[in-house]
Amino acid sequence: MANSILSFITKFNVAPNSSSEELILKFSLILLVLDGSTGWGLDIFMRIICVLMLAFNKYTSNKFLWLLIAMLLLFFNSLQFYNIDNHKILFVYWVLLLTVYLWTKKDIGYLRANSKLLIGLVMLFAVFQKVINEFTAPGFLHGCFLFDGRFMLITHFIIDTPYQELLNNRNSTTILNMLPINNSSVTLTSSSYMGSLLYGFQIFGLIFEALVASLFLFSKRESIVKDIALIIFCIGTYFIFPVIGFSSILLILGIAQAREKFRKYYIFTFILLQFIMVPWQELIFYFQNSL
């Protein structure tokens, strides 16, 4: 039985057309192992299958296995469509694109063109979603930096607000959310300088994100300006907002569409951004207060 299944799967093995294709497929498999699915059942399957595809090169571009992965991702993630992280939805699109590429025997230009388009559309829709949700209004980031545990230490460093006051902000908003009372409110400790600084950062980030979208949608495929802009965006954004999944998929898409000589910069950035997992704020805070 096992031999029959293995023989069936092996029939769908195809040799990568180039080292670029193999690199793209392997990076995609790595992300599937780390953060590609939702739910323990699918996670176990993904890790086993994708690790085996990475370990045995002849299965890296196996058409049947990629189709199986795509269908399972599409099914299980669709069941939790309104609850899963948005980067996992983006990864479903990417895996479907890879599957179509393998089954239709397209050349590498198909992947390059479509990954470039996908980056542009993702960035464009991200800007559109922020605009319609009043991201352009003052206070959107300001509130997050006053009570969100991911950013409170940054606030402490910028305006020297005692950390205990920021903890009080977080505790007050938590209680307000748990015990909602009509017309109830809490007062958060901050400064006008902090508000102005974050609003400037908020608008600049939105403009730069729109610039990245425009470059990927309208610039020539061989232009490296778009690649430089995306790398700056990923480093500048995700070291402050540590969303490892979304940064990883953007960089994999970047690798897929970039010129071969420029891919090393995307790979270096991919490695660099793994360090956003380090609790830098807590380390700086600890050393500051231990002296």
Q: What is the pLDDT of residues 164-195, one digit of tens each?
A: 666 666 666 666 666 666 655 656 666 666 77
What is the rounded distance in angstroms from the CA atom of residue 50 to the CA atom of residue 37?
12
Residue 3 in this model has a pLDDT that exceeds 80: no
Is the pLDDT at 44 greater than 90, yes or no?
no
Statement: residue 139 has pLDDT above 80 = no
pLDDT of residue 124: 95
Report the SS3 class of residue 15.
Answer: coil
For residues 17 and 67, give the distance between their C-alpha atoms in angstroms, rounded to a whole number. Answer: 18
Widest pairwise Cα distance in the chain: 70
Scanning the structure block, which residue is given the tokens 């778009």?
A: 226
Structure tokens at 171: 């505790």
DSSP 177: H
CB neighbour list of residue 179: distance below 8 Å, 6 or more residues apart: none
Residue 26, helix vs strand vs coil: helix
pLDDT at 217: 94
Percent of the chain scored above 70 by pLDDT? 75
Give the amino acid at 22: E
Enter the pTM of the model: 0.84
Q: Which of 31, 101, 19 is nearest to 57 (CA)?
A: 19
Confidence of residue 258 (pLDDT cuts 50, 70, 90): very high
| Averaged pLDDT of the chain | 82
Q: Which two tokens stand for residue 3?
A: 């031999």
Q: What is the pLDDT of residue 117?
A: 95
